[in-house]
Copies of this chain bind each other. A is one copy, B any other.
Amino acid sequence: MSLVLDPTAQDLLFREARTANTFTDEAVTDEQVQAIYDLVKYGPTSMNGSPLRITLVRSAEARQRLVKHLFEGNQQKTAAAPLVAILSADNEFHEHLPQLHPHFPQAKDLVWGERAFREKHAPLNAALQAAYFIIGVRAAGLAAGPMTGVDLAGVQKEFLDDDHTPLMVVNIGKPGEGAWFPRSPRLDYDQVVTTV
C-alpha cells in the first residue's frame, strides 16, 4: 500500500526474483548488458565516484580459467551459465573524478588522494553498484546468480591487476529447470530496524 512502484515491477525485481542455479541456453547479448548498464549507471555512489568495473567472461578459454577459482559447489553453474561477469572495484577510480564530478574536480586529490582511503571506499561503493547491477539484470528479465564463494585472490591474479579488488562473480541468463532452491526466510522487521 505504501509503495508506488507497480506490483509487477516489485515482483520482477524483488519478490519473484531469485538467485538462479541453472540456466537455459539462450544467449545474453552485449546489447542487453549495455541496456542494463545504461539504466543502473545512475545509481548513487559517494561523490559519483562510480568505482564498479565489469569483466564479461565470454570466451570458452576464459570461462575455464574462471571456473577453477570457484568453490566446488559453484563450478557447475558457472560453467553452464550463458554469461558470467566478474564485478570489481577500481581503486584508482579517482582518476575519473574530473569527468564524474566536474563542479569539484580537485576532489580527485583533495578528497581521494590517499590510496588507503580509496581502498576502503571503492569496494563499498562498488558493492552498492553491484546491487544496482543485480537489480538491472532482473530489469532485463534475466536471473542473476551472484556468488562470493570464490577464491577472489585467485580471480584477481588471473583476470585483474593490483588496482582492482574483485567483489563477486555473477552468473546471468534465463533460469533453467530446477533453477531455484526454496526461498530462505528473511529477518523480521524488528530484528533489523530500531528507532532512537
Which parts of A93-123 form the interface with B (CB within 8 Å)?
96, 99-103, 121, 123
Q: A2 contacts B42, CB within 8 Å?
A: no
Interface membership of A21, Cβ < 8 A: no
Contacts of A34 in B (CB 8 A): 2, 189, 193
- Copies per complex of this chain: 2
Contacts of A121 in B (CB 8 A): 148
Q: B139 contacts A50, CB within 8 Å?
A: no
C-alpha gap A186/B41 in the complex (Å): 7
Q: A195 contacts B53, CB within 8 Å?
A: no
Contacts of A130 in B (CB 8 A): 128, 131
Q: A46 contacts B185, CB within 8 Å?
A: no
Beyond the given A19-B44, A102-B184, A132-B135, please list 15 additional residue pairs across the A-B interface where CB-CB is below 8 A. Answer: A2-B140, A4-B140, A4-B141, A5-B139, A6-B9, A14-B42, A43-B135, A53-B194, A56-B194, A100-B187, A103-B181, A103-B182, A121-B148, A124-B124, A129-B131
